[in-house]
A and B are shown apart, each in its own frame.
Chain A
Amino acid sequence: MRVHFTEFGKVRFISHRDAARAFERAFRIEQLPLAFTLGFSPRPKVSFGLALSVGHESDAEYLDFELAEEIPLEPLAAALSAALPEGIDVPAVVALADRAPALQEAVSAVEWNIELTVDDEVTGTPMITPEIVEHRVEALMAAPTLVLERVRKGRTASEDIRPAFRRMTVLGPTEGGILVGVELATRPMSVRPAELVAALGSEFREGRVRRTRQWIERGSERLDPLAADPRIALEARAS
């Protein structure tokens, strides 16, 4: 099964691990017959997609789980929403084909709406306009490379993060800043919204951040994770 869920409001301050635990409890509250791993300490077969950082909201989070027996799918989304903390909702649950690729490997691009704000204490007067941001975005997208010192597995290395930037557009002003829409590749390396904000200008701060899409790309196809490996389609193709 693949669950699509959203995370908004106060609950955005919990960590990815906390969200995972909330789902495990929701599964038990709804008494779903989860399949378990074999072995000395059996674990429910649940796997989460890309992590969502503390403080970020999302329209597009996913997780996969396996059931030990068939149950009606229809009431599942509403039931899970009710059992989850306020602010986490489940718009849809779909049945996955057997051996569908794991989310972590399958997802190759994500879209974000990132709010840029300016720390008034730094500049004295908050000077941020769509035009200023437009310029920075153009400059960034025009640059052939963008090399950063990044810490990976405890070691600092220089990396070019420019290839990860696919598209960037200024969406307009918000109450406290300017909203930018971005599409980022997640391979070979993923870029954090904070790094992108810093790349646009050292005076910018990260305001509200919201993941809006995740994509699974196969050849020239670009698929929503819910539509990527549906059980029905595969069965239909086989027959």
Chain B
Amino acid sequence: MTSLWPRIEPLLAGVEKPARYIGMERGSQVPVHRPGSVSWLLVYPDTYEIGLPNQGLQILYEILNERDDAVAERSYAPWLDLAAALREHAVPLFSVDTHRAASDFDIVAFNLSAELVYTNLLECLDLAGIPIRSEQRSETDPLVVAGGHSTFNPEPMADFVDAFVIGDGEEPVGEMTECVRTWQGGGRPGGRVGLLRALASVPGVYVPSMYSVEFDGPVLRSVTPRYSDVPAVVDKRTVADLADWPYPKQQLVPLIEVVHDRLNVELFRGCTRGCRFCQAGMITRPVRERPTEQVRNMVANGLRRTGYDEVALTSLSSADFSGIDNLVSDLVNDQIGCGNVGVSLPSLRVDAFTVGIASEIQKVRRTGLTFAPEGGSWRLRQVINKLITEEDLYSAVEGAYSQGWRRVKLYFLVGLPTEMDEDTLGIAELARNVVKVGKQYTKQASCTVSVGGFVPKAHTPFQWFGQNGTEELHRKINMLRDDLRKTAATVRWHDPKATFAEGIASRGDRRIGAVIERVWRAGGTFQEWSEHFQLGRWLDAMAAEGLDPDWFVTRHRTEDEVLPWDHIAAGLHRDFLWQDWQASLQAHGLPDCRWTPCYDCGVCTDYALEHVVASSVPPAGGSQGTGQDLTLGGAVPVMLSPTRVPT
């Protein structure tokens, strides 16, 4: 039996938003599974509304379906109501494209973009009838694969995932397809272990069962390959030139409303602003811009094909794209011939230049304006290398209020390294001043202050830092709320308890797998949904495994400590990261190597890559207003620490 639809259909009458499970989006495919073709089920382990727009998944879906030797379908985590109905009626997890059982696929591949979805991966496997632990799977079970940013520390999920893909997936999915096809065609030499061993030789693929992990008491001693043909360190994969990968060509248009419900076109990958808390920036270096002409074509074709009237130009910092101002003004003024389109630029920098772009955009559609200074004082922003002065912020918000915005949103992190109460109160000070600036233009001026607790991530200079505990984060958030009471600033915050659980998984080692399994068995799915999250489940699971949560979360790591992800390489030299960590403690900034000389973090030099940037001069406002002259040999008022800082 191939299609489960006749068994799924009656269940849909009783669930919320049944259209989550019907597929049929414009751009979706109905692949024909042929003998000899390797079938992939690409799963986003969260709701359809969150998972469908994921560009990484859509890109791989197209690339695989274009191959003669592969087919790809999609699936998303069923919401609790359908999960219960599937179990009650013994219907397995299915693909939304042809409603085929997940266990009928050769490969079930998950996108892991955040730690709190980890338990949903277990839930999906269990619903699929696939044993959740790698060691329990037999030769006939699908291969379980995971990719996405969170896999840069794969260890917490190492018990459940057969093979991780580290870095850009465009190339390795093809190589893995060939590897599986060869193994299947050759009579499955060596059984499942034979396949895993072969996959371990594919560059960028990490097969945890091929490594032994040793502990000395609570301390991780080593992670070493079991065989000589298994690499000691797995290097990330990087697409050298985005121009070769104009995907998605047929972006999916969902039938129901989803997040980011618009055309998305990726401007560039990578970011070298060097914000020290930002894992995405660190692990995606160097910067690779898409040629402007290709961007224009993708926007024009995409709008025509999808019928969307809004396009998001995506990247980690879209205002840094060479010629962004011309591109935006051409789109807004219909120079590409697609009528009135709304343009959105996620992650704007904090400066007057970006407000200029934003006001151009709002000719078509007024959208919210969010700035992310991240730290409450200049000193702290030097620590995190987010070099925004107060003047930058005030002139940016002045620009915004003067051009008709009434509310701006400011995003901050609390619990950053070296943070003191005056830094936290600095957030309140900034917010009050922002409102004051706004009141000059409109009586209704207000601002929203969003506060998130900082979770240190692998492969960043802050990977050694001990995260703030829940009480400390609560104290800081309450201090901020008290200070902003009765003002036009509204404070919103992320639950410090969820931040703590994220901390367990973020820098955990292989022992955390058992904890994740216990949380899942206790019913802890959809952990990023506050109504389903309970820290108690995580703490109980840690206790049951005899693990000390603080050892994993709030403890500072030392320079000589073996980190659980030391055998995974993002290209950043450990020396560079340590040096940048020490520089941060001294509040020393570091410039953007896209426009200034390379300081050899390791990525380009080790992987023979280079920045692909159309303009060799930084965009206007590109210094983030520090007055830093970013031309070669220019004066750099920000203190640099290219050599090791004495500690």
List residues of A whose CB falls within 8 A of some B CB: 10-11, 13-15, 17-18, 21-22, 24-29, 31, 41, 54-55, 83, 85-87, 206
Contact = CB atoms under 8 A, between A and B. Distances in A.
A85 B307 contact: no
Contacts of A83: 307
Contacts of A85: 24, 26, 255
A18 B257 contact: yes
- A-B interface, 4 closest residue pairs, ranked by CB to CB distance from nearest: A25-B307, A13-B18, A29-B307, A28-B307
17 contacts: A10-B5, A10-B22, A11-B24, A13-B21, A13-B22, A14-B19, A14-B22, A15-B256, A21-B257, A25-B253, A25-B307, A25-B308, A26-B307, A55-B12, A55-B18, A85-B24, A85-B255
A24 B307 CA distance: 8
Contact of A18 (B13, B19, B23): B19
Count chain B CB atoms within 10 A of each CB in A11, A24, A85, A87 and give the residue with the most: A85
A154 to B, nearest CB: 21
Contacts of B303: 28
B306 interface: yes
B18 A54 contact: yes
Contacts, number: 55
A90 B308 CA distance: 21
Interface string B250-267: 000101110000000000
B309 interface: yes
Contacts of A13: 12, 18-19, 21-22
A11 B307 contact: no
Contacts of A25: 253, 306-308
A13 B307 CA distance: 21
A87 B306 CA distance: 17
A80 B303 CA distance: 17
B137 to A, nearest CB: 32
A54 B12 CA distance: 10
Contacts of B21: 13
A86 B253 contact: no
A41 to B, nearest CB: 8
B309 A28 contact: yes
B12 A29 contact: no
A83 B253 CA distance: 12
A22 B18 contact: no
Contacts of A54: 18-19
A24 B309 CA distance: 10
A11 B255 contact: yes
A177 to B, nearest CB: 12
A29 B263 CA distance: 13
B221 interface: no
Nearest to A26: B307
Contacts of B22: 10-11, 13-14
A29 B308 CA distance: 8
B305 interface: yes
Nearest to B340: A42
Nearest to A206: B13
Contacts of B7: none
A17 B257 CA distance: 9
B454 to A, nearest CB: 38
B304 interface: yes
Contact of A10 (B24, B257, B339, B365): B24
B308 A87 contact: no
Contacts of A29: 304-307
A87 B21 CA distance: 15
Contacts of B24: 10-11, 85-87
Q: Which of B19, B306, B365 has the most CB of A within 10 A?
A: B19
Interface string B352-364: 0000000000000
Contacts of A206: 13
Contact of A14 (B256, B306, B339): B256
The winner among A14, A55, A83 for most chain B CB atoms within 10 A is A14
Interface in B170-196: none
Contacts of A55: 12-13, 18
A54 B22 CA distance: 13
A13 B365 CA distance: 31
Nearest to B9: A10
A13 B257 CA distance: 13
B95 to A, nearest CB: 14
A21 B309 CA distance: 11
B261 to A, nearest CB: 9
A41 B342 CA distance: 12
A206 B22 CA distance: 20
Contacts of B26: 85
A83 B307 CA distance: 9
A31 B338 CA distance: 9
Contacts of B23: 10
A54 to B, nearest CB: 7
Contacts of A87: 24
Interface string B222-261: 0000000000000000000000000000000101110000
A41 B365 CA distance: 8
A207 B107 CA distance: 37
Contacts of B18: 13, 54-55
Contacts of B306: 25, 29
Interface in B506-529: none
Contacts of A26: 307
Contacts of A24: 307
Contacts of A27: 307
Interface string B279-308: 000000000000000000000000111111
Interface string B74-90: 00000000000000000
Contacts of B339: 28, 31
Nearest to B16: A54
A158 B183 CA distance: 70
A14 B255 contact: yes
A126 B305 CA distance: 48
Interface string B550-582: 000000000000000000000000000000000
B399 to A, nearest CB: 21
Interface string B298-339: 000001111111000000000000000000000000000001
A13 B19 CA distance: 5
A18 B365 CA distance: 21
B591 to A, nearest CB: 42
Interface string B15-58: 00011011110100000000000000000000000000000000
Contacts of B19: 13-15, 18, 54
Contacts of B253: 25
A71 to B, nearest CB: 16
A25 B27 CA distance: 14
A41 B339 CA distance: 15
Contacts of A31: 339
B617 to A, nearest CB: 38
A25 to B, nearest CB: 3
